[in-house]
Every structure is written in C-alpha cells, then in structure tokens.
Amino acid sequence: YNYKYVLNQKGILIKNALSGSHALTENDYLVLVYYRNIGAQYDALVGIGTTNSFELQN
C-alpha cells in the first residue's frame, strides 16, 4: 500500500503536518566498490568512499 497522512484544517489540507518535510535532512553514505575478474568465484573490494548529502548537492 502507498498512503500519506494529511491534516484537514478548515477545508485546507496540510500535507506535511505529520510526516514533515525533510529536504534539508543530512544523510551519510558509505560507498563500497567491488570488482570480479572473469571466471573468478568472488568479488574483490577495490574501493571505499564516504560522503554526505550536503557534499553531493549540485
């Protein structure tokens, strides 16, 4: 199911009253890069990186 809670105040729907608007929320990310050689039986970890959503802004 896909649903959203809204608040009705005097006929006006307030869409973010309960869930909030999180456009400015900062998120941290861990990036793991794997590589598998042709015929290999496992993936090798070849890179690790970190960033957050504020560093990724356009």
CB 34 within 8 A of CB 47: no
Q: Write out the H or E segment, with its range, that includes residue 9.
A: strand 7-9
Identify the helix (H) or strand (E) that includes residue 34.
strand 28-35
What pLDDT is stored for residue 25 in this prediction? 77
pLDDT at 13: 87
Segment 1-56, tens digit of pLDDT? 677 888 888 988 888 777 666 667 788 999 999 999 999 999 999 999 999 888 77
Distances (CA, A) of 22 to 16, 31, 33, 38: 10, 23, 28, 43
